Chains A and B, each alone.
Chain A
Amino acid sequence: MSSERGGREIELQVGDEVLKVRSGERLIDICEHHQTCIMFSCRAASCGTCAIVVEQGMENLSPVEGLEAIVVEEVSEGRPNVRLACQVRILGSASIRPLT
Chain B
Amino acid sequence: MDQVDPVDKLLRRQIKLFEHAHRTPIELKGFGLAMKQEGIDKSKLYCNPDFLLLPLRECPHLSKLRPEQLSVLTAYYFARAYSEIATSESVALRYNMEASAAVFPLYSDNYMVLFHETAEEFDHIITFRNVCQALLGRGDVIGGDFFPHLKAVPAMLERYRGKLCANGFGAMYLLMRYILNLALKQLEGFMTAGLDEKVASPLALQIVAGHAEDEARHLTTSLELGLGLFRRATPRSRELISGAMRITMYSMIDKRFSGDAAATWNFETGLGVLQRALQHPEFADFPLRAEELRGLWASEGIAIPASAEFERSRRWIAGQLHRLAESMELALTPQGEAFERYLACARGTSSSSEDTARRA
Q: Which residues of A are found within 8 Å of B20, using beta-carbon distances?
A: 66-67, 70
> A35, A40, A43, A71: which contacts B17 (Cβ < 8 A)?
A71
Distance, CA A40 to CA B316, complexed state (A): 8
Q: Which residues of A are found within 8 Å of B312, using beta-carbon distances?
A: 32
- How far in angstroms is the closest Cβ of chain B from A28? 11
Main secondary structure of the interface of A (DSSP, over half): loop
Q: Which residues of B are found within 8 Å of A43, using beta-carbon distances?
A: 189, 212, 216
Distance, CA A39 to CA B322, complexed state (A): 11
Q: Which residues of A are found within 8 Å of B215, using beta-carbon distances?
A: 42
Interface size class of B (residues with CB under 8 A): 20 to 34
- The answer to whether B9 and A74 touch across the interface, beta carbons within 8 angstroms, is yes
Q: Which residues of B are found within 8 Å of A66, using beta-carbon distances?
A: 20
- How far in angstroms is the closest Cβ of chain B from A99? 14
- The answer to whether A41 and B13 touch across the interface, beta carbons within 8 angstroms, is no
- The answer to whether B217 and A46 touch across the interface, beta carbons within 8 angstroms, is yes
- How far in angstroms is the closest Cβ of chain B from A51? 12
Distance, CA A64 to CA B316, complexed state (A): 25
**Is A10 close to B, CB under 8 A?**
no
Which stretch of B219-227, B254-262, B333-341 is in the interface? B219-227
**Is B196 close to A, CB under 8 A?**
no
Distance, CA A34 to CA B223, complexed state (A): 26
| A 38-53 contacts with B by CB, 8 A | 39-49
- How far in angstroms is the closest Cβ of chain A from B321? 11
Distance, CA A30 to CA B323, complexed state (A): 20
6 of the cross-chain contacts (CB-CB < 8 Å) are: A32-B315, A36-B348, A41-B220, A41-B223, A46-B216, A74-B12
Where the two chains meet, the residues of B that have a C-beta atom closer than 8 Å to any C-beta of A are 9, 12-13, 16-17, 20, 189, 212-213, 215-217, 219-220, 223-224, 312, 315-316, 319-320, 323, 348
